[in-house]
Amino acid sequence: MSRRETIDGVVYGGASVLALLGALPAAILTLTGHALWPFFLFVPCALISLMLVYALLRGHLRVRRPWTPWRRTGAVAVAGTLTTTLALGALLISYAILGMPLKDDDLRRTCADRTANPRSAAPSSGEQVTRAYIDSGSGFWRMPESDVRPVEKVEDLPAVQQVACLSLLGSGGRLGTCSYGIGPGTGVSSTTTHYRGRWELSVRETRTGRRIAVRSLEGTTDGACSSEKWVVKGQTSSEYYTPPSAADVQAALAQR
C-alpha cells in the first residue's frame, strides 16, 4: 500500500469522524431537547459529508485505485457520517414543516404569556380536552386532578385543545398558622400562615393562545397543617394560599 493510499484513507476517515462528532450531538440535542437550533450544527456536517463522498468517489472512479484497507475504513466512515446527517436532516425538515413536538413546557408558556402552538397543537373542535396548571409563584405547575379528559402520555399532548390556568388574585381570609422545626436540635422553626386563596381561572386555546373563558374561584377552607414542609434556607416565615378544589375547577370549566 502506497503512502498516498494511506494518506487518503486517514484523511477520509479522520474528516468523516470529525463530521460525525458534529452530527451526533446535533441529533441528540434535537431528539432530547426538541429544539431546532441544532440545525445550524447539522448544516456544516452535512456539507462535509457530501464533499467527502464526492471526493472519495471521484478519486476512485477516475484513477481506478484499489480498495485498500485504509480506503475501506475511510469509505465506512464516510457512509456512516452521510447516513447520520441525512437521517438528522429528514428529522429537522419534518420539525420545520410540521412543528416541534408539543411538550408540557409549551403548555406552561401558554398559561404564562399566551404563547401559541400553531403547528404542534390540535385545532379546537369543541371537545374539552383540557390540561390544568396553577401558578406556584415560581411558574405554572400541573394540577392533574383538575384535568378534563386527561391525557397521560407525552406523545398524546397534541390532543390537548385547551389549558386551564389558575393565577392568584389575593387573599380571601386567614385560616391559621403552622409551625415547623428546621433540623433536629437546632431550636429554629419556620411558620407558615394559611390564607384562603382567591384565584382567576383562564381557559386558553392551546393552538392560538387565545383566552376563551375566565372565571373567579375561591380556594378551599382547609387550613390543616401538613406533617412536613419544604422551606427556603434561612426563611423563618411564609404564606400559603389554598387552591380551589378539583371539583370546583371542573365545575367552572363545565359552565362554558
Averaged confidence pLDDT in the chain:
76
Say if residue 225's pLDDT is above 70: yes
Please tell me the predicted confidence (pLDDT) of residue 41: 62
Q: How far apart are CA 138 and CA 211, in angstroms?
A: 22
- 238 burial type by CB count under 10 A (0-12 exposed, 13-18 middle, 19+ buried): middle
Query: For the segment 240-253, what is each residue's pLDDT rounded down to a tens digit?
Result: 899 999 999 999 98
pLDDT of amino acid 115: 87
pLDDT tens digits along 151-170: 777 667 888 889 999 999 99
Least confident of 50-54, 210-214, 246-250: 50-54
Q: Is the pLDDT of residue 146 over 80?
A: yes
pLDDT of residue 165: 95
- Distant-in-sequence, close-in-space partners of 253: CB < 8 Å, separation ≥ 6: 128, 130, 148, 164, 201, 203, 213
Q: What gap in Å lies between CA 117 and CA 110, rounded to an integer?
A: 8
Convert the pLDDT of each residue in 63-98 to its tens digit: 556 666 666 666 676 677 667 767 767 766 766 666
Number of residues in the chain:
256
pLDDT of residue 77: 66
pLDDT at 214: 94
Coil, strand, or helix at residue 86? helix
Q: Read off the pLDDT of each residue in 10-31 and give the average, rounded to a whole number.
A: 61
Question: What is the spatial distance between Cα 40 and Cα 96, in angstroms, rounded to a whole number?
Answer: 13
- Does the pLDDT value for residue 235 go beyond 70? yes
Record the pTM.
0.63
Euclidean distance between the first and final Cα of the chain, in Å?
80
pLDDT computed for residue 236 by the predictor: 77
pLDDT at 199 over 90: yes
Whether the Cβ atoms of residue 229 and residue 191 lie closer than 8 Å to each other: no
Count the alpha carbons within 13 Å of 114 in the hemisphere toward its beta carbon: 4
CA nearest neighbour of 109 among 139, 129, 137: 139
CA separation for the pair 85, 27 (Å, rounded): 8
The cell for 84 is 447520520
**Which cell numbers in the block locate residue 138?**
415560581
